[in-house]
Structure 1
Amino acid sequence: MSWTITTPNVAVEPFNPHEISEVLYDFDGPKIFVTIDSDRLMRFWYESLDDRITKTVRYLVTTTTESQIQMLKSGKRTVHDLLKQPWLWAVDCSYSMDPQNAWVIDEINDVPPDYRPKQDATLFLEHMPLLSYRLVGKGLREGEVPASVIAKAVTGPTSALKRLLEAVMPNESSGRPEESFRRSYDLPAVRFAFNSFEVSFSAPAEEKLESAKGELVVYGNGTSKLKDAFAWLTNPSKHEEPEAYVLQALKELAPPAHGQIESVELRGQLIGNFQQVLISRSDRKTITQALGKKKTDEEQLMQVTGVIRELDKDHRRFTLRNRPDCTEDLICIFTEEHYDDVIEHFANDALISATGRYKTSKNLFEVGDIGLSFTINVDSPKPLLS
């Protein structure tokens, strides 16, 4: 055995894999399986090493439950998750499945990397998350993750994917997104891991992505643009600079310039199976500089003032009128975050002030913040920031 264990031996009698309850992965014999002993204790077995010279197989073994096995089989837990338990053993068995030696292992990280499963390894390839977003920084460990880091882990991927899909599917993103479009970027979070801190998102169920036209939302165009952007970020001199909306998506994913998060790692089907992308703070600077050079009037950050006169609750959009020194009405779209405020301002006929992004191509104002206006300011025809 090339992996030497230095902890004391324990009795092998409790470990008898002859009575396998269920084989979860088989390749020239059971590699991952479950046993249940006479006391109905369920154990999870993972093949760590096959020594063909000594004809011995070393397994990592831990206790488990039926619910944990079902979560593993559905893709909501990884193989690593099941082995990260308070009780973990290494058990050597002969090719005839007779236990020969057993040891207590303090934790899964004490097992050399080559002999334990990767942290994101699912039981089946199709269960690989659509996207895993890991935030790396000093002190990010279980029980010590600030709420701001958790918020970044959720809003970063959601905002980035929304920007991409808005650009490649413009008909779906006017006003309040259709439910199918919203689900295409507001992904189910299926797994959290303290690894610094990581969130894994799965793809929505296909029936929830169907639009009114009966067409499925396709990630292909957006993710293709994103992959090209990663290549540019790695070697800007050899790849074409991405479009502004792709750069904006990259910026959403990048770590903040200051704070505890130092870099981010992305994996999953949107990135490419078994691939990993790292974005650092220096990359964020590159992205920001490229955005600053873009001469585009597609989006402007503006402040507007007026009264909400027409409100469409279903599509989360309203018409802003009575704008000081402006005769044109302005169509505004808003998110769930501002829903209650918009309803209240509409009911009170209040003069409000809102900041957000004006999309010139769609003639829409996307509300970023909204509140009462206590002084009447003339709307500026120029953006506050470019």
Structure 2
Amino acid sequence: MPMKAPDSGRAIGAEFLGSGAVEESLYEADGPVLFTTTSKAGQQLLAYVADESVDGTWLILSACTPRVVDELKRGQIAVRDALTSSWMWLAFKGVDGSLTRAWSILPDEVPDGHLPAPGTPLLPEHEPVITARAKGESIVAGATPASVVAFVADSTRKAIKILLEWVLERPNEGRPPDELRTLYDLPVQRFAFNSFEVAFGSPSGTFDSEELRRAANLLQKGLAWASDDNEHPLSAVSDDERSAILHAALQLTPPSSGPICEVEISGTWMSGGPELLTRVARRRIRSELRRLQSEHVVRLVGRIGEVDRDNFTFILRGTDEGTQYRGVFEEEMLDDVVDYFAEDRRVAVVGVHRAGRLYVAVISADAKAEGE
């Protein structure tokens, strides 16, 4: 609906708000949309164009400080929060450029569609890559349990870490390298208390890498599967990848007990839209992990495509079913594994397949291939 004068009768002298002249334009679209101006008393005001007509412009003005303006420019505060966090006025600016009428207002008196949507930053590049919002009856401003704050921050970091280690093929034991830590320890852009929400920005500098984008895509895939009520299995190129995706998604599901009932994940990494995770999603992920983690003895034939001498692992490719496996072997097997790799020989591997990994007990040249 179009903006109109409030019925509250809280009119003030428009001259109190100054001329409404633009001092610094913060965002433009065919003209300033969000800008700073100065009141008659010399106070800095934040002004937002809420509606326009042939007769003039409706402005929402709010008291602000240089710190608020700086936070807007850095993406640390949403535009709506900046406008509604202090005193607010509605003013009408005539076609001659002067403020002719003004009223004191409250945020809930502004008609729908005349304030920026919640969470909208000043600039598109300020959009958080991922936002985690924990929901629950006891999660309210001023009384949010510390466990909720810790869960939202830590679970997001752990989920990204799990998938980055998979993408980069790094072991998950020990202290991670600094460059890896920089990728998964995302900077916090802002907090919000509509339930409890943390918005994370992208790592700065050169670390916004292809590996990070791959990890984000895998995370989105896992969250979409977990939040779906269909019975189809999670698709992945291998059990290793499936296990990594499931463990990462599990981090962001609500704990089985406690104040968090739902977790909503959104942001630019969630290109398919926000994903809502419940305790049902947690049980679904755990069920799929149990299926993956069931231990069974296997015999496989294939070729060693890659060898990691430091971590005693290899990639077995060219198997009959077309699936590749990550093999973990004992140090005393290293020389044989390296020889088979260098000679590109087909090998027979016997071991235990558990948690998406092949723990090798015996490896030898494939007798059938040797006899050909």
1:236 is the counterpart of 2:238: no
* TM norm structure 1: 0.69
Residue matched to 2:70: 70
**Which amino acid in 2 is paired with 1:149?**
V
Partners of 1:94 and 1:43 lie apart in 2 by 19
1:1-386 counterparts in 2 under 5 A? 2-3=2-3, 5-8=6-9, 9-50=11-52, 52=53, 54-106=54-106, 108-171=107-170, 175-207=174-206, 209=207, 216=209, 218-232=211-225, 233-234=227-228, 236-237=230-231, 240-241=234-235, 243-272=242-271, 275-295=273-293
**Which amino acid in 2 is paired with 1:291?**
L
Tell me the C-alpha RMSD between the 2 structures. 2.9
Question: What's the secondary structure of 2:164's corresponding residue?
Answer: helix
Q: Is the 8 A contact 1:56 1:95 kept in 2?
A: yes
Q: How much has 1:148 moved relative to structure 2?
A: 0.7
Q: Which runs of 5+ in 1 are unaligned?
A: 211-215, 299-327, 330-357, 364-386
Which structure has the greater CA radius of gyration? 2
Q: Is the 8 A contact 1:297 1:360 kept in 2?
A: no
- 1:97-151, Cα deviation, whole Å (9 max, x unpaired): 3223322123x34433422112211111011112111111113222100111111
Q: How much has 1:194 moved relative to structure 2?
A: 1.0
Partners of 2:172 and 2:205 lie apart in 1 by 19
Q: Which runs of 5+ in 2 are unaligned?
A: 237-241, 297-329, 332-354, 361-372
Q: How much has 1:17 moved relative to structure 2?
A: 4.2
Q: Identity of counterpart residues, as a percentage?
A: 28
Instruction: Tell which deviates more after alignment, 93-102 or 21-30.
Output: 93-102
Question: What's the secondary structure of 2:13's corresponding residue?
Answer: coil
**Which amino acid in 2 is paired with 1:7?**
S
Residue matched to 1:345: none
Q: For residues 296 and 48 of structure 1, do their structure 2 counterparts lie closer, same or farther at Cα, with a shift above 3 Å needed? A: farther
* TM norm structure 2: 0.71
Question: What's the secondary structure of 1:175's corresponding residue?
Answer: coil
Q: How much has 1:288 moved relative to structure 2?
A: 2.3
Q: Is the 8 A contact 1:180 1:217 kept in 2?
A: no
Question: What's the secondary structure of 2:202's corresponding residue?
Answer: coil
Question: What's the secondary structure of 1:289's corresponding residue?
Answer: helix
Q: How much has 1:154 moved relative to structure 2?
A: 0.7
- 1:205-235, Cα deviation, whole Å (9 max, x unpaired): 225x39xxxxx46312112222222332325
Q: For residues 237 and 282 of structure 1, do their structure 2 counterparts lie closer, same or farther at Cα, with a shift above 3 Å needed? A: closer
Q: For residues 297 and 239 of structure 1, do their structure 2 counterparts lie closer, same or farther at Cα, with a shift above 3 Å needed? A: closer
Question: What's the secondary structure of 1:91's corresponding residue?
Answer: strand
